[in-house]
Structure 1
Amino acid sequence: MAERRRELRDFPWSSYRALIGLAESPRWVDTELVLCTWGASAEEQMQNYRRYVEQGLTAKLPSPFLSIQEQSILGSDSFVEDIRRKYLLKRGIGDEREETSLKHLVRSENVGTVIAAVGVEYGICPAELLKRRSVCREGRQLAMYLVATLCRHERPPVQLAKQFGVTNAGLGIARSRMAEALTDRDQAALRARCDRVRNALKPPPSC
């Protein structure tokens, strides 16, 4: 714990030292703007901010990256869908290198294709992944996560959930749990499986 705290406070490429009063603030860092809601006095603000950040060294706090939809927009499902309908579907996609993430939002994978790809990865019949008591629980959970993430614009969420015999809320819970599992440092094998499935779904490069 002490070692991790020391590394956090000594990291040279972070403004954290300035925000907790261990170093002079660079001109381009507005510490007042960051700290103004953390207490009445400057000392209280620094203490509260430091306590909040450093509790993450021991407490398991939810990662904001779990809320990232399609690698592009941070927000709820409804917010992402609103942005997609209002802006992305009304514009063309420009430079492929610069707008790969936006393509993910406009394009949607086929449900059957995703489930089949997961089945290939786990060496199991796709129909088995749809069973509530599937013999391949991890594969089913990954299939639910990928369908909820990649097929959200092909069918309404209720229909996606029905594919797996669960409610819309149940599919959302399964997706959140798998998203959290994929961020676990001990789940390297699971992340590798997920990456292989995603890569298998990518369209072949154009000539």
Structure 2
Amino acid sequence: MSIELPEAVERLRAHAWVTDAREGKAGAAAQGIVLALNAAGIAALHRMGRARLIEALQRDTGHADDAIVWRLRDTLPSATDAAQIDAWLHAPLPREPLLLDERQHDGNWTLALRVPLDLVYFPGHFPQAPVLPGAVQIDWALALAAPRLGTPQRCNVMEALKFQQLLRPGDRVELSLHHDTARHKLHFAYRYGDRAYSSGRLAWSAA
């Protein structure tokens, strides 16, 4: 028999994959859980995917309820109040990266990003081994470059695309952006330290 939600949340807090867990309201009659995963939990997410991770947590805590809304995070500050928990539960799954820092030098931008654990694209790409799609990486580069470099948010041509390593939930990455104004091209590269994830040139007509 399934246990009540408050007891399940207490058990989640003691789980080997979890840093913290809080319950809240996801709607007029819906309940939800905001879960902060530790390094072991993020590794399990990489290995299993979101749905199987939640199934495993439900099984381990004895609370199986398909109506529960789950939100996954890598941090959950102790000072987070009930209103913020409810807001996270009400909000749709994120589509954008977390912007941690940004700097500009001689017209070149470098953005420190973190890939959200709960990114909306992961359940479909792929359900049991979440990977950030290449198309999303290109969309992010265009969207983040536009307000900083004045470049269009869409391109006509993609050149020299390289996808070298997988970007996974929770990964940190630096996105470098350079606008070649003479050739109407945006150069982008996702890297972290000596690890190269992807790069390419995105072009559009002069008009």
Larger Rg: 1
TM category, shorter: under 0.3
Q: Which structure has the highest helix share of the two?
A: 1
TM-score, normalised by the number of residues in structure 1:
0.26
